[in-house]
Structures are given as C-alpha cells and as structure tokens.
Amino acid sequence: MARTTVITCALTGSFDTPRKNPAVPVSPKAIAQSALEAASAGAAVVHIHVRDPETATPSMELTHYREVVERIRERNASVILNLTTGAGGRFVPGDPDPSVAGPGTTFMSPETRTRHVSALRPEICTLDVATMNFGEHLFLNTPAHLRAMAGQIRAVGVRPEIEVFDLGQIELARHMIAEGHLARPPLFQICLGIPWGAPATPEALVAMRARLPEDAIWSAFGIGRAEFPMLAVAAGMGGNVRVGLEDNLYLSRGVLAPSNAALVEKAVSLLAHLDREPATPDEARAIFGLAPRG
C-alpha cells in the first residue's frame, strides 16, 4: 500500500532568479496563481516569499503578503500556507568599515521579520535556526532573535518549520526545544546544497536526520540539480519533500522548468515509483501536527 508524503512547493524565493527563468513568479497575482497551480498538481503546502512587482527584488511588504494570501484563500481554502520569516536576515559588511551595513543588507528586528505572520496567521511559517555564510553574504539569526521570533510565532498560534542548513544548527534547535522556546514535536526542514551549508549528498542527509530529536517530523530538499535526487533519498528515508522554483530552475538538464506545477508533477511521478502518494492538505495537517480545518 502506498504511503503518503507531503510535498511543499517553494514558489519564488529571494535570489535573482526571475532573470534566469521567466517562469519564476514575481507579482502577488502571479505568486498566488503559481501556488494554486502547484496545489492542483499535488503540493499540500506552498512556501511563500514576496517580491517587489516592479523590480522583482525581494520584499517584506505586508501588502504584498496580504494580497498573495487573500488571492490563494479565495480560490483554495485547503492548501497549507507557509510564509517565510527568512527575509530580513541578510547582512553585508560595509567597505571600508565592515561594522557598518553595506549595500544589500536587509537585517531587521524580530518584530519586523514576523509582522506578516502575526497579521495573516498562516498555519506554518519558517524559522531559520541558522547563522552562516549564505553565498557571499551573512545570514544572521542570533539566539536572542530566534527566541523572540519563536515567541511571536507561538503567540499567534502558528507552527514554526525549523530550517536547518548544517549540523550545528540542529544542536541550537535542540537547545531551544529543551528550553521550551520551540514546542514538541518539532517540525524540521533540512536544507541541503546552499553555499556554504551542508552539501546535497545522501551522507549529509543521513547525518543530519540522525541528529534530529526522536519525535521530529521532517522534510528535506536539495537545490539545483540535486533537487530530485535528494527528493528520492528523503522520501526513501521516510521524510517529506520540497520542490519549487525557489530551489531549482530546471525540469531536467538544460530544460528550464515552465512552472512550479511542472516541478510538483515531476515530484509526484518520482514518488509513485517509490510507492508513495502525495499527501492531501488534510493528510499533511495530520502528519505535520496542525489543527484540522474547521
């Protein structure tokens, strides 16, 4: 009998990808439409960043988040919404004074980074338990800021998805769970292949999975060409999976993905070969420990 696997679709992200693949959605209308198509293709969860519709650059505007959420909920009340709180964590040291934030810095307070979560109350939001070199900039999430963000997320009844990019970040997450800042059972997302975190290899996934708390519910993904190989490994280990244009722009080698839905469709096909079916949103709620829909 086939077992169910939750598919999350990460729709747009925050890097300069629309220039590389025009299918990456930019406007709130386009992001919402892409979410609806991904849900129809088999995604139970849609992970949402927003962009400035004029420049395609990352945005933290509440009005953009609100429009995306409202457009999705108007047409699909079932799909699970997962809003990012990663925006506002970027620090670029200035030149010549590295103690002053340089161009490209978006570093914001915990309150600002969770404002849209408090206002819109999705079922899930991400919490990046990670300070690391993220490509050429610093992704900065201090323990104090993480505790504050976790408290604000908990206060509005949202489930944090704990994003971890390397082994040490799992140890910090375990510490926050032990302190009571993150509830049990925790929901983890293992993120692989991001420079300079853990590589997208089976060995890295096995090592990180082994350090999760015993009661953890988990998903994993790899970026770029590792997206589908890591999907197969994660699903084979009993985990849930993530695909989407945030993580990978190609459907196959040299072929740009025409949509998020196309990536979800490929994920569904691969899961079928592993005797797994995509979880419905209500099945995903049960797997992720979310309240049933009223």
Which residues are 93's β-sheet partners? Answer: 101
pTM above the 0.85 mark? yes
Hey, which bits of 76-123 come out as E strands?
Answer: 80-83, 90-91
- Cβ contacts of residue 21 below 8 Å, gap of 6+? 245, 249, 256, 257
Any idea where the domains of the chain sit in the sequence?
3-288
Measured distance CA(223)–CA(137) in Å, rounded? 18
Q: Give the angle 264-284-209 at the CA atoms, nearest 5°.
A: 80
The rounded Cα 230 to chain-centroid distance in angstroms is 15
67 backbone dihedrals φ, ψ, rounded to 5°: -65, -45
SS (H, E, C) 259-279: CHHHHHHHHHHHHHHCCEEEC
**In a structure prediction context, what are the per-residue pLDDT tens digits for the chain, which is 294 residues long?**
459 999 999 999 999 999 999 999 999 999 999 999 999 999 999 999 999 999 999 999 999 999 999 999 999 999 999 999 999 999 999 999 999 999 999 999 999 999 999 999 999 999 999 999 998 899 999 999 999 999 999 999 999 999 999 999 999 999 999 999 999 999 999 999 999 999 999 999 999 999 999 999 999 999 999 999 999 999 999 999 999 999 999 999 999 999 999 999 999 999 999 999 999 999 999 999 999 987
Tell me the residue ranges of DSSP E strands in 159-275: 159-164, 187-192, 217-222, 240-243, 250-252, 255-256
Domain 3-288, second-level architecture: Alpha-Beta Barrel (3.20)
9 membership: H or E segment, kind and range: strand 7-10
Sequence length of the chain is: 294
